[in-house]
Structure 1
Amino acid sequence: MNAELVVTDREGLLSRWIKPSSDTEDEQQKRAERMVKAAVDRSPVAAKAKVYAKGSYPNSTNVRRDSDVDIVVECCEVYFHDGAAPSSSTPKQRRPKSLWWPPEEWRSTVHSLLQDHFGRQQVDADHNVAFNIPAVDGSRPSIDVVPSYEYRAYRRLDGAGDPAIGSLVWCKDGKKIVNWPKQQLVNGRNKNTSTGHRYKNMVRALKNAENELVRLGRVTEQPSYLMECLVYNVPDPILKRGHSLDDTFRAALTHLIEGTLNDVHKSWAEPNEIKPLFGAGQKWSVDDAHKLVVETFYLLNYV
């Protein structure tokens, strides 16, 4: 970026950065979801699974020319739970035990369905978490398909009360990952409404800034979800305070820079408001986040 970048330049840049997927990209993303649903619906597994999108696509935080889609294929025969459960890996059967798929078998089942629908050579099974189906220019974006189970977190030790419902992925290496896509979706929509739609605009702006910083070699590429998490932890009054995109983005970055320098970040959570933003099991660190927001501050010449 030009070291002489001024307010009018930044306003124009941010106006481009906050744009969501184009209509063409949006239709291609929807097509990708329909194709995975078709792969499941044409099989006997259809009654035993549900298919839905998660991540930036359903949350409308994806940016133009960066429109990969994450699709969950969730087994409905069983759910896993913690809290009141004797073990976090203890399954609860919804049907007779003979009818449910163990993690390895469910993963294999989803893999076969995708191969039957897209073609054997079109499904990359080398990744630890998801199966990847490559993009077809002009037709669909890259698709990551995640085989999963429902996950229930009970807040009381006796298991009473309504549990938080999440999604559990058993990885190829045997490790598990719990995500909370429904809570992320609802909380993100609420924050976007309460900030006059500035929340998702600022998420897209930060994602585009990270793309530019990676291109320039100034930061290491991070999962795009980190940018969504960071902006979620900017208080609503700060996102609403500025009179322009430039004012708002600068105020948001300032809050994030200060928060990653002191203990404030210890109270930050992912948009699902269940999982801490920093700590064990995360793909990023506080230092990664701090470097990203500081480099973005300098990238836009906020000095």
Structure 2
Amino acid sequence: MVKNMGISEKQLETWSNQGAIITSQKTHESIRNALNNSELLKERNYDVYLQGSYRNSTNIYGESDVDVVVQLNSVYNYNISGLTQSAQSKFHEEHDCVTYGYESFRSDILNVLIEYYGASEIADGNKSIKIARGSNRLAADVVVCTQYRYYTKYNGINDENYIEGMAFYPQNGCQKIVNYPKYHFNNGAKKNNPQNTNAWFKPVVRMFKNARIKLVNDEKISKGLAPSYFLECLLYNVPNSKFGKNYSDSYQNIINWLSDCNLDDFLCQHGLYKLFGFSTEQWSKENAETLIKNYVDLWKDW
């Protein structure tokens, strides 16, 4: 258990500060303009939106890559396993095979970005298309995806219910990755509001992200142990009462609570499945426990 005397309030407050805002917006606008001005895409139904720390206002100084999602909406991945057999049969009867899908869309996005920015500025990565930093924009990871629907009801195309997410396929052939960035954003905004943590949630996330960087730089933990997404999800599960008053109290209250609680039932911030597990969308419980222990040691050894 951590007690008073540790990291100074001034240091914690510095760690809580938000990073670049304007340049992330300009980066988003630049990519949107590149796609919207392309003749190749003008007939396509897609959305372009920010994802990750810049979207969620949890970005910190030194975070350079902006996550931008380009989502095809005219076709979608789906999960109908929760429907009755008759509903599944009806779904298949009323949906045709697509002629323009994920692979074609991703290829078109890649070609448009190369044409707009130049081949030397673009790298085709495993999970995203990477755009190099420019004079008026940050580096960006462009995640090309399709809409994803987890169906909870299907009586026909005009009588259906589903949870909307996004899905994409890594280039290395691994299974598709599904996420729910809009639910993640909405739940984070709700936790941050005055009725819950009184706007302490997001600054505290940034504080712990910077503390994690301190641990990485001091070689206490590996760089990949606690990705920002999972760290934010971890803190989302902390009771609202542990946030607030000041940063010192927030740090101590949160770490003490995490050290004593059962992590097994923690949810991802979108609230739709458990945080810990073995899928590509989940985190290692052992890694979380290692992170928490090092947060305790960082306070005690400061």
SS in 1 for 2:276: coil
Structure-1 separation of matches of 2:270 and 2:282: 17
- Relative to structure 1, the CA distance from residue 238 to residue 15 in structure 2 (aligned partners, 3 Å threshold; closer, same or farther) is same
**Pairing 1:246-257 to 2, within 5 Å after superposition:** 246-257=248-259
1:39 equivalent to 2:39? Answer no
SS in 1 for 2:8: helix
SS in 1 for 2:152: coil
1:72 equivalent to 2:69? Answer yes
Moved over 3 A (4+): 84-87, 156-161
Gaps of 5+ in 2: none
- How far the C-alpha of 1:255 sits from its partner, in A, is 1.5
Structure-2 separation of matches of 1:229 and 1:52: 20
**Pairing 1:126-165 to 2, within 5 Å after superposition:** 127-136=125-134, 139-156=136-153, 161-165=160-164
1:190 equivalent to 2:187? Answer no
- Relative to structure 1, the CA distance from residue 76 to residue 227 in structure 2 (aligned partners, 3 Å threshold; closer, same or farther) is same
1:175 equivalent to 2:175? Answer yes
Structure-2 separation of matches of 1:74 and 1:248: 37
SS in 2 for 1:196: coil
Partner of 1:109: 108
Deviations 1:30-54 (A, max 9, x none): 1110111011101131442211111
Q: Which moved more, 1:150-159 or 1:215-224?
A: 150-159
SS in 2 for 1:182: helix
Structure-1 separation of matches of 2:22 and 2:299: 32
Deviations 1:75-130 (A, max 9, x none): 1221121124859xx8x86xx866x42322222111101101111111111x2110
Q: TM-score, normalised by structure 1?
A: 0.85
Gaps of 5+ in 1: none
Q: Which moved more, 1:154-163 or 1:275-284?
A: 154-163
- How far the C-alpha of 1:244 sits from its partner, in A, is 2.0
Letter in 2 for 1:72: V
Quote the sequence identity (%).
28
Letter in 2 for 1:116: E
- Decide whether the 8 Å contact of 1:233 with 1:268 is kept in 2: yes
- Decide whether the 8 Å contact of 1:62 with 1:204 is kept in 2: yes
Structure-2 separation of matches of 1:67 and 1:192: 24
Deviations 1:263-285 (A, max 9, x none): x2121111100121000214631
**Pairing 1:205-244 to 2, within 5 Å after superposition:** 205-221=207-223, 222-240=226-244, 243-244=245-246
Partner of 2:275: 277
Higher relative contact order (Cα pairs below 8 Å, separated by 6+ residues)? 2
- Relative to structure 1, the CA distance from residue 46 to residue 74 in structure 2 (aligned partners, 3 Å threshold; closer, same or farther) is farther
- Decide whether the 8 Å contact of 2:278 with 2:284 is kept in 1: no
Letter in 2 for 1:71: V
Partner of 1:19: 17
Structure-1 separation of matches of 2:154 and 2:257: 37
- Decide whether the 8 Å contact of 2:276 with 2:285 is kept in 1: yes
Structure-2 separation of matches of 1:63 and 1:46: 35
- Decide whether the 8 Å contact of 2:50 with 2:67 is kept in 1: yes
- Relative to structure 1, the CA distance from residue 269 to residue 121 in structure 2 (aligned partners, 3 Å threshold; closer, same or farther) is same
1:298 equivalent to 2:297? Answer yes
- Relative to structure 1, the CA distance from residue 199 to residue 205 in structure 2 (aligned partners, 3 Å threshold; closer, same or farther) is same
Structure-2 separation of matches of 1:68 and 1:122: 14
Size of the aligned set, in residue pairs, is: 282
Letter in 2 for 1:30: Q
- Relative to structure 1, the CA distance from residue 78 to residue 19 in structure 2 (aligned partners, 3 Å threshold; closer, same or farther) is same
Deviations 1:222-266 (A, max 9, x none): 3111110111010112224xx32101111111122223xxxx212
- Relative to structure 1, the CA distance from residue 103 to residue 18 in structure 2 (aligned partners, 3 Å threshold; closer, same or farther) is same
Letter in 2 for 1:232: Y
Structure-1 separation of matches of 2:258 and 2:66: 28
Partner of 1:118: 117
